[in-house]
Amino acid sequence: MARSSKRPQRTLAIFFLTIIAMYGLVALAGSWKPALGLDLEGGTRIRLSATGNNLTPENLKEAAGIIDQRVNGSGVSEAEVTTEGNQYVVVEIPGQSRRDLVDTVKRQAQLRFRVVGMTGPGAGSATTTEGPSPSGSAEPSPSVSPGGGVLAPSASASPTAAPTKKNTGKNRPPFLLDDKTKSPDPSGTASPKGTASPSGGASPSATPTDGATGNPQGGADINDPLTWMDNPDVKSVAGYNAFSCTADTRSANVDPETGKVVPGDKPEWPLLACDSDGQKYLLSKSMVEGTDLDGAAAQIPQNDVNWVVTLDFNGHGSDEFAKISRALYGTQKQFAIVLDGKVLSAPVMQGIITDGQAQISGSFNQASAQSLATSLRYGSLPIAFEKDPSVETIGPSLAGDQLSAGLVAGVIGLGAVMIYCLFYYRGLGVVVVASLFVAAGITYALVLLLDKAANFTLTLPGIAGLIVAVGITADSFIVYFERIRDEMRDGKTMRVAVESGWKRARNTCLAADAVSLLAAVVLYIFAAGVVRGFAFALGIATLIDLAVFFWFTHPMVSWLAQHSFFNRGHKLSGLDAEALGIDRINVAPTTAMRTGRTAGGRA
Residue 190, pLDDT above cutoff 90: no
Same domain as 152, residue 18: no
Helical segments of 126-245, H only: 144-147, 225-228, 234-242
Same domain as 418, residue 366: no
* Residue 157 placed within a domain: yes
Domain boundary among 345, 380, 415: 380
Q: Taking the CB of residue 319, how many other CB atoms lie within 10 A of it?
A: 18
Same domain as 272, residue 244: yes
Report the DSSP beta bridge partners of residue 313.
293
Model pLDDT for residues 216-243, shown as the tens digit of each residue: 456 788 888 888 988 898 989 998 988 8
Same domain as 65, residue 31: no
Same domain as 118, residue 49: no
The DSSP element (H or E) to which 478 belongs, if any, is helix 460-489
Looking at residue 230, its pLDDT comes to 86
For residue 386, give the amino acid letter.
E
Looking at residue 12, its pLDDT comes to 92
Same domain as 417, residue 308: no
Mean pLDDT in residue range 22-41: 83
Buried b / exposed e over 226-261, threshold 16 CB at 10 Å, is bbbbbbbbbbbbbbbbebbbeeebebbbbebeeeeb
Q: Which domain holds residue 246?
A: 111-126+136-380
Looking at residue 18, its pLDDT comes to 93
* Residue 603 placed within a domain: no
Same domain as 539, residue 422: yes
What dihedral angle (degrees, nearest 10) is formed by the CA atoms of 583, 588, 591, 592?
20
CA nearest neighbour of 224 among 235, 216, 213, 234: 213
The DSSP element (H or E) to which 121 belongs, if any, is strand 111-121
Same domain as 541, residue 498: yes
Predicted TM-score (pTM) of the model is: 0.54
Of the listed ranges 200-214, 290-304, 316-330, 557-571, the least confidently predicted one is 200-214
Q: Taking the CB of residue 277, how many other CB atoms lie within 10 A of it?
A: 16
Residue 55 CB contacts under 8 Å (≥ 6 apart), including other chains: 86, 87, 383
What percent of the chain is predicted at pLDDT more than 90? Answer: 10
Residue 533, pLDDT above cutoff 70: yes
* Residue 225 placed within a domain: yes
For residue 447, give the amino acid letter.
V
Contact between 77 and 98 under an 8 Å Cβ cutoff? The reply is no
Same domain as 539, residue 423: yes
Of the listed ranges 391-405, 445-459, 525-539, 572-586, the least confidently predicted one is 391-405
Q: Specify the higher pLDDT residue, 104 or 603.
A: 104
Same domain as 74, residue 50: yes
* Residue 391 placed within a domain: no
Counting the structural domains of the chain, the total is: 3
Residue 600, pLDDT above cutoff 60: no
Looking at residue 543, its pLDDT comes to 92
Mean pLDDT in residue range 558-569: 86
Residue 137 Rama label (left phi>0; alpha psi -120 to 50; beta):
beta
The DSSP 8-state label assigned to residue 261 in this structure reads: E
Of the listed ranges 47-51, 305-309, 475-479, 578-582, the least confidently predicted one is 578-582
CATH number at 170 reads 3.30.1360.200
Q: Specify the higher pLDDT residue, 66 or 175.
A: 66
Residue 415, pLDDT above cutoff 60: yes
Same domain as 369, residue 291: yes
Residue 107 pLDDT level (bands cut at 50, 70, 90)? confident
Q: Report the alpha-carbon distance of residue 104 to residue 67 in Å, rounded.
A: 8
CATH number at 450 reads 1.20.1640.10
Mean pLDDT in residue range 529-538: 81
The DSSP element (H or E) to which 68 belongs, if any, is helix 57-71
CATH number at 56 reads 3.30.70.3400
Contact between 59 and 481 under an 8 Å Cβ cutoff? The reply is no
Contact between 418 and 433 under an 8 Å Cβ cutoff? The reply is yes
Q: Specify the higher pLDDT residue, 141 or 484.
A: 484
* Residue 446 placed within a domain: yes
Same domain as 257, residue 143: yes
Domain boundary among 354, 380, 406: 380
